[in-house]
Amino acid sequence: MPELQRLRRDHAVALLAFERENRAYFAQTIPDRGDDYFTDFDARHSELLAEQDAGLHHLHLIVDAVGAVLGRVNLVGVEDGTAELGYRIAERAARQGLATSAVRQICVLAATEYGLTALRAKTTLDNAGSRAVLARTGFVPTGDEFTLGHRPGMAYVRDLTDVREAAARETAAP
């Protein structure tokens, strides 16, 4: 069963393999990271870990039983009780409910462990899979539109009050 793990230094090799293996697949729905991302991966990984340690981000991997990365689920730009959700799932693991499950898990972590009150997300209008994940996990469109790589998109928000209340009820239950 896949496991959500907080990003660590020892994830670097598996994470880089995941990004390389899925680069073309991801580029079909989101802008490519560019060659510099891969050339400077080690430095960028260290930078992200330092930013996570400083509380600016909460970065996670979805890892299978042998340590291969199946996806990423990140909360970035933590500020004033909110953060922006981002996620990507490997092509070989897509369309199996993994993104929905991971986003639900990250909503619980955001509300209970990280003290966040709301999450923001963005996706392009032509990314039906991502829009469906957001809808299934309680995100609602804000009405704010944007352009990402010349493609129209929509912003979403998820209030985490209900998640926090549900977690409190579970903790209080005998």
The tens digit of pLDDT for each residue in 12-62 reads 999 999 999 999 998 888 777 888 889 999 999 999 999 999 999 999 999
Assigned token pair, 35: 């060659």
- For the entire predicted model, the pTM comes to 0.92
**What is the pLDDT at residue 62?**
97
Say which CATH class 3-172 falls into: alpha beta
Stated length of the chain: 174
- The crossing angle, in degrees rounded to 10, of helices 98-112 and 128-136 is 50
Phi, psi of 141 (to 5 degrees): -65, 140
Closest to 138 in 3D by CA, of 96, 108, 93: 108
